[in-house]
Structure 1
Amino acid sequence: MDISNVLSVKNIKLSMAAKTKEEAIEELTELLVRDGSVIDKDEFIRDVWLREEQGSTGFENHIAIPHGKSSGVARTTLAIGRTQHEIPWETMDGSDVRCIILFAVCLVDQNTTHIRLLSQVSGSLADEEIIAKLLVESDPQKIIELFNPEDEDVKA
């Protein structure tokens, strides 16, 4: 799957102001509201928190992958943010979070596209070289490219 179908440079924010988990989710959701992917901000954020209650979405190596499957989402989209401050977040390795990958999933995609996307992103995050680049890369387009499998033909 070409990640650029669900992630655009306008939904990547490399100097987030957020200092808390709540602020981070709010700040990234605002990007998705602006691009029309999220049509009901309150409902979407509520669904993200419902998912968070089931178990933390903190990954490891300073990364979190919160997500919400919601009728407040018009089209499945990702937003990526990097914080200026480490954010306390329950992670698998106990690290604070500096990079958040927010999944906004429309209900029609919850059992298909969502699973493929999550699998593709987590597969990329299993590569320490990709994580290292994700935490320092300053070009949003190159961040998108980090999540596209190298063997896949990327369509413009």
Structure 2
Amino acid sequence: MDVQMDDLDFTKVVTEDLISLDLKSTTKIGVIAELTNLLFVNGCVTDEAAFIEDVLYRESAGPTGLEKGIAIPHGKSDSVQKTSIAIGRTNKEIEWESLDGGPINIIILFAVKNSDKTTTHIKLLQKVAVLLADEEKIEKFQTLQTKREFIEIFAENN
């Protein structure tokens, strides 16, 4: 199922199966790999190594770390079967190039089909940017206890 721009909502691109509240890795590449594996086992990505390479290529173009512990790495890739978002939270802060220079512990990984790379990708980024502009929601991300709560916060933005 392709995601159409006009009916885009987060429940089509992020599910509880694509959320990990307990990422084990303590490195940027490690958490990207963990989230990529979630995408792979859920049929969103067909080639983990190729997708990670595409994400790291995008990382080399400029920082994807925002502020207040959040990063939004993304890959536009032929290995993406279904445009999706994987979300992870770590127990330890990770070094990441970010706008405020601080470490990261919440990672929102975009996996974008090449055919969706213009309109859908930009629409997803816009929706997440609006969400992340809300200080209260950012604070909630740090303390949420369930995957369902993450989905609910994303869904509020529709």
TM-score by length of 1: 0.94
Cα distance, 1:149 vs. partner?
3.9
1:100 paired residue number: 107
**Gap runs ≥5 in structure 1:** none
1:13 paired residue number: 20
**Gap runs ≥5 in structure 2:** 1-7
Return the alpha-carbon distance in structure 2 between the equivalents of residues 79 and 46 of structure 1.
17
Return the alpha-carbon distance in structure 1 between the equivalents of residues 154 and 121 of structure 2.
15
2:124 paired residue number: 117
| Alignment pair present for 1:25 and 2:32 | yes
Cα distance, 1:148 vs. partner?
2.5
Greater helix proportion: 2
Residues 7-86 of structure 1: pairs in structure 2 closer than 5 A? 7-86=14-93
Identity %: 46
Return the alpha-carbon distance in structure 1 between the equivalents of residues 66 and 142 of structure 2.
14
Cα distance, 1:31 vs. partner?
0.2
Residues 16-41 of structure 1, C-alpha deviations (whole Å, 9 max, x = no match) = 10100010100000000000100011
Return the alpha-carbon distance in structure 1 between the equivalents of residues 45 and 21 of structure 2.
20
1:128 paired residue number: 135
| Alignment pair present for 1:145 and 2:152 | yes
Return the alpha-carbon distance in structure 2 between the equivalents of residues 16 and 51 of structure 1.
22
2:4 paired residue number: none
Residues 86-139 of structure 1, C-alpha deviations (whole Å, 9 max, x = no match) = 000011011100100000000010001111001001110000000001111011
**Which consecutive segments of 4 or more residues in structure 1 shift more than 4 A?**
none
SS at match of 1:79: strand
Cα RMSD (Å) of the superposition?
Answer: 0.9
Return the alpha-carbon distance in structure 2 between the equivalents of residues 148 and 93 of structure 1.
27
Tell me which of 2, 5, 13 is aligned to 2:9.
2
TM-score by length of 2: 0.93
